């Protein structure tokens, strides 16, 4: 059996990226970008179907890859050169060390190191196909959206040089690297794709080349490269000790009584995944990434980059169940879930709220992976799917809103439903998807809570109970802003058609996922768990899931029916009560001195209690301490033969 779609999916975006760079006529480049995005989406579908026709069985490919291996090594060195050049150019030479050292070590292993076992370099199974679908669909939609968005962006931000050819080049490299990342089983290949995504995100964040952007992009770079270093050390140590560089072998050996090198490698790789998934203490890079144009934030946050970290942790999950690495990962994840959701309360910049909520939700997924039981991975998979769709929708929507409204502050969105109805509606759907009952995120949270009780993970239970309360708080107050009545005039909606297409597809996907949820669980996620753990304990029984479907229908129906019923009820409209005399339009009142005062309503933010300034540094300190202590303990107990 051969699957030609796999090399196609990895190489095609790279070819397109070269085209993007070469074509300097906007219209032609846009057309090529559209067509390529659609092709990628279709090929993802073809890959899934092809794999399904072969019986949904795990498949391995490409054992003999000497030529490609050389190519991969060459690419790695090229990346190192790019990083070194840029870090010297922008006067941060020390960052280059984080790239030179691991590349040198990997190069040594490949050229001078011992002969490694022959392994298949590509492996296809349920998890990697799931990731491919997410990347293929969401990633391509983001590209389609980006074409329109960047047009408006460059039009509006004239101070930023128009380098769209460069922007799209990186977007496509990114997609190619992500496909490679989730499909590879060879750790050496994974390392290359890992570094590629790190460098791409760095270049995307620095797109505007302004002082802040450069600063933030370097922060993202060094944090991700630090993770890359840990990954590389883990890989090399494992390869030298066990004579193989296969991820599946690593996980297999990690379950049960694992040799020291395997334990250490797993801990290091899991640590690397924490940096990628922007967990505390490495959350700041994701917050800084907000300076980039919106499509890149959407790409970094929702569909790809950060999910790469989660993907690795899911892969490692069976090997983390019940040991110290798992404890560390689940603690960091749970802690990040709670503290990021508290910090999100104090944010009024829409994009920052989204960033905080991304970090927070990733934290929950990381915690699920750290517990490493089928039940938690079940919850984690659904969290990942729902989060990818609704976060991508929200990011794109807030980008479009900003282009029209010239602000992305939540306070400015007072009454957005009456001013920019379509965008506000999409935003409403996206936010509801993040936390309300009929949507999947809440059900997954519920499953995560149940599973962590089953696993006796006390601290995670606390994190989830408190974290879900704070999460509802910041989303609900945002929703309230959108629907609050206002007399301010409507804003002209300058959203391009292609942006609308992408947004609508997302919204439809969001709603469809709600209904298809139990189906997806039994058809796809349970086989995934069977593959991973050779057992699958459903957290929420099918019975309950069917009740849920009925509930979902009811939930959509109730407000709708209530609306229809109330439409014809005769009502007597009165002015709102304002203490002073309402001047007649509900937007101003007479003050005690007889002057008319405009009414301004603002949300609660508690900036002095839970602002980023107040909480970020202590959280970083706590998590750093935990990571250092736990890593030392893991390494010491692995090498000392379980003395500690």
Partner 1 sequence: MNQLIPMMCYLLLAPLCGAIMEGFDRKISARMQRRVGPPILQPIYDVIKLWKKQVIVVEKSQNFLLLSYLLLTVMTGCMFFAGTDLLMVLFVLSTSAVFLYFSAVISGSPMSTMGALRELVQDMAYEPAVLLAAVGFYLTTGTFDVHGIMNSDVSAIVKMPGFFIAFVFVLTIKMRKSPFDSAQSHHPHQELVKGITTEMGAKNLAFFQITEWYEIILMLGVEALFIVNKNPWSWLAAVIVILLTYFLEILIDNTSARMKWQDMLKLSWIVTLLAGGVNLMALMLIR
Instruction: Please report whether residue 322 would count as binding partner 1 according to CB under 8 A.
Output: no
| Residues 130-169 contacting partner 1, CB under 8 A | none
Strand, helix or coil for residue 92: coil
Instruction: Please report whether residue 100 would count as binding partner 1 according to CB under 8 A.
Output: no
Which of residues 332 and 441 has its CB atom nearest to partner 1 in the complex? 441
CA 311/CA 247 separation, integer angstroms: 12
| Residues 498-557 contacting partner 1, CB under 8 A | 544, 547-548, 551, 554-555
CA 427/CA 310 separation, integer angstroms: 25
Identify the helix (H) or strand (E) that includes residue 597: strand 596-598
Task: Name the minimum Å distance from CB 392 to partner 1.
Answer: 23
Which of residues 302 and 468 has its CB atom nearest to partner 1 in the complex? 468
Which of residues 27 and 570 has its CB atom nearest to partner 1 in the complex? 570
Instruction: Please report whether residue 599 would count as binding partner 1 according to CB under 8 A.
Output: yes
Task: Name the minimum Å distance from CB 549 to partner 1.
Answer: 13
Which of residues 110 and 587 has its CB atom nearest to partner 1 in the complex? 587
Which of residues 404 and 582 has its CB atom nearest to partner 1 in the complex? 582
Cis preceding linkage at 281, omega within 30:
yes
Task: Name the minimum Å distance from CB 544 to partner 1.
Answer: 6
Task: Name the minimum Å distance from CB 390 to partner 1.
Answer: 16
Task: Sort residue 62 into left (φ over 0), alpha (ψ -120 to 50) or beta.
Answer: left
Which of residues 256 and 559 has its CB atom nearest to partner 1 in the complex? 559
CB atoms within 10 A of CB 406: 10
What are the backbone dihedrals phi and psi of residue 90, each rounded to the nearest 5 degrees, phi first?
Answer: -100, 20
Task: Name the minimum Å distance from CB 372 to partner 1.
Answer: 18
| Residues 447-466 contacting partner 1, CB under 8 A | 449-450, 453, 456, 458, 461-462, 464-466
CA 15/CA 9 separation, integer angstroms: 10
CA distances to 85, 393, 609 from 425, in Å: 45, 11, 32
CA 126/CA 315 separation, integer angstroms: 11
C-alpha closest to that of 278 among 346, 356, 205, 217: 356
Site string for partner 1, 352-381 (x = CB under 8 A): ------------------------------
Site string for partner 1, 54-93 (x = CB under 8 A): ----------------------------------------
Task: Name the minimum Å distance from CB 604 to partner 1.
Answer: 5
Q: What is the size of the binding site for partner 1 (CB under 8 A)?
A: 63
What are the backbone dihedrals phi and psi of residue 409, each rounded to the nearest 5 degrees, phi first?
Answer: -80, 135
Which of residues 41 and 449 has its CB atom nearest to partner 1 in the complex? 449
| Residues 606-635 contacting partner 1, CB under 8 A | 609
Contact with partner 1 (CB under 8 A) among 138, 300, 368, 442: 442
Task: Name the minimum Å distance from CB 49 to partner 1.
Answer: 35
Applying CB under 8 A, the span of 80-88, 100-108, 314-322, 446-454 interacting with partner 1 comes to 446-454
CA distances to 151, 378, 509, 539 from 515, in Å: 36, 17, 10, 18
Which of residues 214 and 338 has its CB atom nearest to partner 1 in the complex? 338
Q: Label residue 561 exposed, middle or buried (CB < 10 Å: 0-12, 13-18, 19+).
A: exposed
Task: Name the minimum Å distance from CB 473 to partner 1.
Answer: 5
Applying CB under 8 A, the span of 161-169, 375-383, 506-514, 602-610 interacting with partner 1 comes to 602-610
Q: Tell me which long-range contacts 449-458 makes (C-beta under 8 A, separation of at least 24).
A: 450/375, 450/539, 450/540, 451/368, 451/371, 451/373, 451/375, 451/376, 451/378, 451/379, 451/539, 452/367, 452/371, 452/376, 454/373, 454/375, 455/371, 455/373, 455/375, 455/376, 457/330, 457/371
Task: Name the minimum Å distance from CB 582 to partner 1.
Answer: 9
Task: Name the minimum Å distance from CB 415 to partner 1.
Answer: 7
Which of residues 94 and 565 has its CB atom nearest to partner 1 in the complex? 565
| Residues 373-432 contacting partner 1, CB under 8 A | 415
Residues 365, 278, 297: CA angle, nearest 5 degrees: 100
Which of residues 254 and 334 has its CB atom nearest to partner 1 in the complex? 334
Which of residues 154 and 583 has its CB atom nearest to partner 1 in the complex? 583
CB atoms within 10 A of CB 390: 28
| Residues 474-493 contacting partner 1, CB under 8 A | 476-477, 479-481, 483-486
For β-strands 122-124 and 581-582, DSSP reports them as unpaired
| Residues 547-576 contacting partner 1, CB under 8 A | 547-548, 551, 554-555, 558-559, 562-563, 565-567, 569-576
Six-digit token pair at 213? 């952007």
Contact with partner 1 (CB under 8 A) among 77, 446, 524, 637: 446
Q: Is the sign of the CA dihedral 596, 597, 598, 601 positive or negative? A: negative
Task: Name the minimum Å distance from CB 360 to partner 1.
Answer: 15
Which of residues 151 and 481 has its CB atom nearest to partner 1 in the complex? 481
Contact with partner 1 (CB under 8 A) among 19, 578, 626, 635: 578
H helix runs in 284-349, sequence order: 284-288, 294-298, 305-320, 324-345
Task: Name the minimum Å distance from CB 437 to partner 1.
Answer: 4
Burial 300-338 (b: 16+ CB within 10 A, else e): bbbbbbbbbbbbbbbbbbbbbbebbbbbbbbbbbbbbbb
Task: Name the minimum Å distance from CB 124 to partner 1.
Answer: 36
CA 632/CA 628 separation, integer angstroms: 6
**DSSP letters of 600-622?**
-------HHHH-HHHHHHHHHHH
- Contact, 304 vs 235, CB < 8 A? no
Instruction: Please report whether residue 436 would count as binding partner 1 according to CB under 8 A.
Output: yes
Chain positions contacting partner 1, by CB under 8 A: 415, 436-438, 442-443, 445-446, 449-450, 453, 456, 458, 461-462, 464-466, 468-470, 472-473, 476-477, 479-481, 483-486, 544, 547-548, 551, 554-555, 558-559, 562-563, 565-567, 569-579, 586-587, 599, 601, 603-604, 609
């Amino acid at each position: 059996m051969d699957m030609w779609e796999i090399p196609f999916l990895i190489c095609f975006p790279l070819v397109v990226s070269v085209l993007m760079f070469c074509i300097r006529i906007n219209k032609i480049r846009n057309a090529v970008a559209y067509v390529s995005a659609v092709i990628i989406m279709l090929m993802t579908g073809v890959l899934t179907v092809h794999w399904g026709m072969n019986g949904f069985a795990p498949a391995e490919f490409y054992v003999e890859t000497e030529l490609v291996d050389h190519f991969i090594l060459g690419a790695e060195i090229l990346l190192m050169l790019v990083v070194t050049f840029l870090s010297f150019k922008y006067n941060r030479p020390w960052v280059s060390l984080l790239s030179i050292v691991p590349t040198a070590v990997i190069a040594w292993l490949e050229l001078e190191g011992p002969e490694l076992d022959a392994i298949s370099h590509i492996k296809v199974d349920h998890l990697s196909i799931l990731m491919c679908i997410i990347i293929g669909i969401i990633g391509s939609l983001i590209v389609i959206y980006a074409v329109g968005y960047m047009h408006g962006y460059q039009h509006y931000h004239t101070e930023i040089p128009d380098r769209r050819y460069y922007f799209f080049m990186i977007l496509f490299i990114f997609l190619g690297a992500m496909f490679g990342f989730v499909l590879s089983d060879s750790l050496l290949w994974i390392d290359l794709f890992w570094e590629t995504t790190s460098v791409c995100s760095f270049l995307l964040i620095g797109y505007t080349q302004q002082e802040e952007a450069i600063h933030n992009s370097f922060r993202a770079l060094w944090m991700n490269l630090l993770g890359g270093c840990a990954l590389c050390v883990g890989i090399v140590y494992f390869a030298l000790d066990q004579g193989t560089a296969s991820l599946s072998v690593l996980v297999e050996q990690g379950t049960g009584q694992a040799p020291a090198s395997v334990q250490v490698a797993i801990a290091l790789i899991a640590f690397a995944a924490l940096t990628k998934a922007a967990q505390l203490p490495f959350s700041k890079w994701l917050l800084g990434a907000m300076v980039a144009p919106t499509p890149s934030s959407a790409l970094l946050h929702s569909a790809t980059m950060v999910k790469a970290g989660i993907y690795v942790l899911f892969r490692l999950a069976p090997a983390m169940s019940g040991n110290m690495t798992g404890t560390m990962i689940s603690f960091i994840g749970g802690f990040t879930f709670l503290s990021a959701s508290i910090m999100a309360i104090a944010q009024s910049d829409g994009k920052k709220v989204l960033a905080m909520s991304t970090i927070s939700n990733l934290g929950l997924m990381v915690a699920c992976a750290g517990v490493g039981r089928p039940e938690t991975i079940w919850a984690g998979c659904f969290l990942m799917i729902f989060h990818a769709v609704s976060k991508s929708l929200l990011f794109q929507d807030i980008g479009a809103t900003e282009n029209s409204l010239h602000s992305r502050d939540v306070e400015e969105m007072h009454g957005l439903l009456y001013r920019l109805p379509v965008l506000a509606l999409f935003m409403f759907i996206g936010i509801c998807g993040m936390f309300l009952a009929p949507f999947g995120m809440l059900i997954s949270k519920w499953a995560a809570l149940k599973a962590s009780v089953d696993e006796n993970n006390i601290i995670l239970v606390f994190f989830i109970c408190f974290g879900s309360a704070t999460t509802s708080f910041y989303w609900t107050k945002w929703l309230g802003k959108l629907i609050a009545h206002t007399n301010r005039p409507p804003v002209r909606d300058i959203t391009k058609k292609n942006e609308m297409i992408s947004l609508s597809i997302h919204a439809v996907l969001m709603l469809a996922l709600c209904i298809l949820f139990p189906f997806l669980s039994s058809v796809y996620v349970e086989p995934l768990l069977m593959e991973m753990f050779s057992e699958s304990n459903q957290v929420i029984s099918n019975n309950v899931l069917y009740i849920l479907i009925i509930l979902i229908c009811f939930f959509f129906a109730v407000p709708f029916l209530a609306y229809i019923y109330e439409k014809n009820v005769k009502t007597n409209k009165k002015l709102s009560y304002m203490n002073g005399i309402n001047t007649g339009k509900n937007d101003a009142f007479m003050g005690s001195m007889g002057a008319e005062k405009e009414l301004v309503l603002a949300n609660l933010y508690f900036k002095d209690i839970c602002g980023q300034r107040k909480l970020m540094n202590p959280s970083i300190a706590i998590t750093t301490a935990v990571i250092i202590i736990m890593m030392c303990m893991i390494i010491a107990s692995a090498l000392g033969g379980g003395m500690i």
